[in-house]
């Protein structure tokens, strides 16, 4: 009997020890697009997350990643998010990419369950004004709202066009960008002839939508969609309607589009996208990414994903130093502490420096690969907007807009 009690005591102690260890393990999920209309972007963006985790591990702080595919669709993404929260017990999720996925995941899973949702790519202005319920402050993003990109896109189009039409994906991303573009373009005396939505699911043909959008022969057709949509309707516009004057966005900044449509058909065509501030933080990140993965694709939001993972890891370490359990709430409460001024500036890859400063009770201010990660009260950040173009079969930066005009 005494032997049984001793064995039972050992088991209870062991179970308690293991449970405590698991409670302190930082588990983070990714919910990125590996299939569906945004599948081109998912792998490289995930690499940005992986790089940050590897660098933090090398600096002495381990994070376990669990990857899931959003499928660029709300229902499978919501199911995947539930699995990450309820089965994998993650404290945070990096994702999603599409705003039309991020919004329902936040509303039905992460906010109510008190889990951080950090989107590197959902730019819809709607995210800023989601109802400020009890769990609202678990939703963050490291990319700017399209309230910024739409202004720059409208300004760009108005500089050399008098009329435009917009063909956009009918979800919060496409709607928000299209509406902000229209306001910005028309403020500068441009005229939008047509605003034509298309379904979020990729279709085999868009001739009906193109007929509406091109009816007035606009000076410019805005392609505000995702690669799997645009590579179909751009080719149809060129072949069936003999039209090739486009304006692109982050969703159509795509190597797959070059392959599908042909470099010659895209030559000189311009677009906008959330960009990187450049400077030393971006140079450091770019070099590290190339060492790890061989090349840095000219695709959007890779830097933003790296920054999102970086601030979650730094916030978790800050909570640990303060003697707090590594819960989603405690990590959330330290996000602004490690990412917003004041504090000693730390750059991408400088995690050992950051951890040492936090160990000494010093405040830090992470300056990211995409730019400053200064979260406002809504969990939003302001980073530069890039003007880019297709040139000789490549995607090249024309300039970066640091000052965004107020509309």
pLDDT tens sequence across 291-332:
999 999 999 999 999 999 999 999 999 999 999 999 999 999
Query: Are the folds of 2-145+279-366 and 146-273+387-401 the same?
Result: yes
CA distance linking residue 4 with residue 330, whole number of Å: 40
Going by C-alpha positions, the residue among 331, 279, 326 that lies closest to residue 23 is: 326
Phi, psi of 92 (to 5 degrees): -155, 155
Average pLDDT, the chain: 92
Tens of pLDDT, residue by residue over 133-182, are 545 689 999 999 998 999 999 999 999 999 999 999 999 999 999 999 99
> Which position has the token pair 């505000």?
224
CA distance linking residue 122 with residue 239, whole number of Å: 32
Give the distance from CA 322 to its chain's centroid.
Answer: 29
- The model's confidence at residue 8, banded by pLDDT at 50, 70 and 90, is very low
Contact present, 258 and 345 (Cβ < 8 Å): no
Domain positions in the chain are: 2-145+279-366, 146-273+387-401
Q: Would you state the pLDDT for residue 52?
A: 98
CA distance linking residue 175 with residue 278, whole number of Å: 29
Residue range 2-145+279-366, CATH number: 3.40.50.2300
Tens of pLDDT, residue by residue over 230-242, are 999 999 999 999 9
pLDDT at residue 2 greater than cutoff 50: no
Tens of pLDDT, residue by residue over 119-136, are 999 999 989 888 655 456
CATH class of the domain defined by 146-273+387-401:
alpha beta
> Which position has the token pair 């602004």?
336
Tens of pLDDT, residue by residue over 266-292, are 999 999 999 988 899 999 999 999 999
* Percent over 70 (pLDDT), the chain: 92
C-alpha Rg value of the chain to the nearest Å:
23
Mean pLDDT of 80-86: 98
Q: Would you state the pLDDT for residue 135?
A: 55
The helix (run of H) or strand (run of E) holding residue 266 is: helix 263-266
> Which position has the token pair 């966005």?
249
Q: Would you state the pLDDT for residue 3?
A: 42
**DSSP summary character for residue 367:** B
| Model confidence, pTM | 0.91
Q: Would you state the pLDDT for residue 136?
A: 67
CA distance linking residue 379 with residue 139, whole number of Å: 6
> Which position has the token pair 């091109």?
214
Tens of pLDDT, residue by residue over 93-113, are 999 999 999 999 999 999 999
- The model's confidence at residue 15, banded by pLDDT at 50, 70 and 90, is very low
């Amino acid at each position: 009997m005494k032997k049984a009690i001793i064995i039972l005591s050992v088991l209870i102690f062991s179970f308690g020890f293991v449970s405590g260890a698991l409670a302190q393990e930082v588990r983070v999920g990714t919910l990125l697009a590996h299939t569906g209309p945004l599948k081109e972007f998912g792998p490289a963006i995930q690499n940005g997350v992986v790089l940050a985790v590897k660098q933090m591990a090398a600096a002495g702080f381990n994070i376990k990643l669990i990857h899931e595919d959003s499928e660029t669709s709300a229902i499978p993404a919501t199911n995947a998010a539930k699995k990450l929260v309820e089965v994998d017990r993650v404290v945070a999720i990096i994702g999603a990419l599409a705003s039309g996925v991020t919004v329902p995941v936040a509303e039905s899973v992460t906010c109510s369950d008190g889990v951080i949702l950090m989107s590197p790519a959902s730019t819809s202005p709607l995210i800023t004004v989601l109802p400020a319920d009890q769990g609202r402050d678990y939703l963050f993003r490291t990319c700017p709202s399209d309230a910024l990109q739409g202004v720059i896109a409208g300004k760009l189009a108005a500089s050399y066009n008098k009329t435009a039409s917009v063909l956009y994906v009918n979800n919060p991303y496409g709607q928000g960008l299209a509406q902000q573009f229209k306001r910005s373009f028309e403020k500068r005396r441009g005229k939008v002839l047509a605003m034509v939505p298309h379904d979020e699911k990729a279709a085999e043909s868009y001739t009906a939508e193109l007929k509406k959008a091109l009816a007035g022969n606009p000076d410019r057709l805005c392609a505000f969609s995702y690669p799997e949509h645009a590579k179909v309707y751009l080719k149809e516009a060129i072949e069936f309607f003999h039209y090739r004057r486009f304006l692109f966005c982050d969703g159509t900044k795509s190597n797959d589009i070059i392959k599908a449509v042909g470099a010659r058909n895209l030559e000189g065509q311009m677009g906008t996208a959330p960009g990187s501030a450049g400077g030393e933080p971006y140079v450091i990140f770019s070099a590290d990414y190339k060492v790890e993965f061989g090349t840095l694709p000219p695709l959007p939001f890779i830097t933003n994903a790296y920054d999102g993972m970086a601030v979650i890891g730094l916030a978790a370490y800050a909570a640990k130093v303060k003697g707090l359990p590594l819960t989603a709430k405690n990590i959330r409460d330290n996000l602004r502490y490690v990412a917003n001024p004041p504090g000693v500036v730390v750059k991408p890859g400088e995690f050992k420096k950051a951890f040492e400063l936090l160990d000494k009770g010093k405040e830090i201010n992470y300056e990211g690969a995409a730019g400053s990660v200064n979260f406002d009260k809504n969990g939003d950040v302001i980073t530069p907007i890039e003007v880019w173009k297709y040139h000789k079969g490549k995607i090249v930066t024309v300039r970066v807009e640091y000052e965004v005009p107020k509309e």
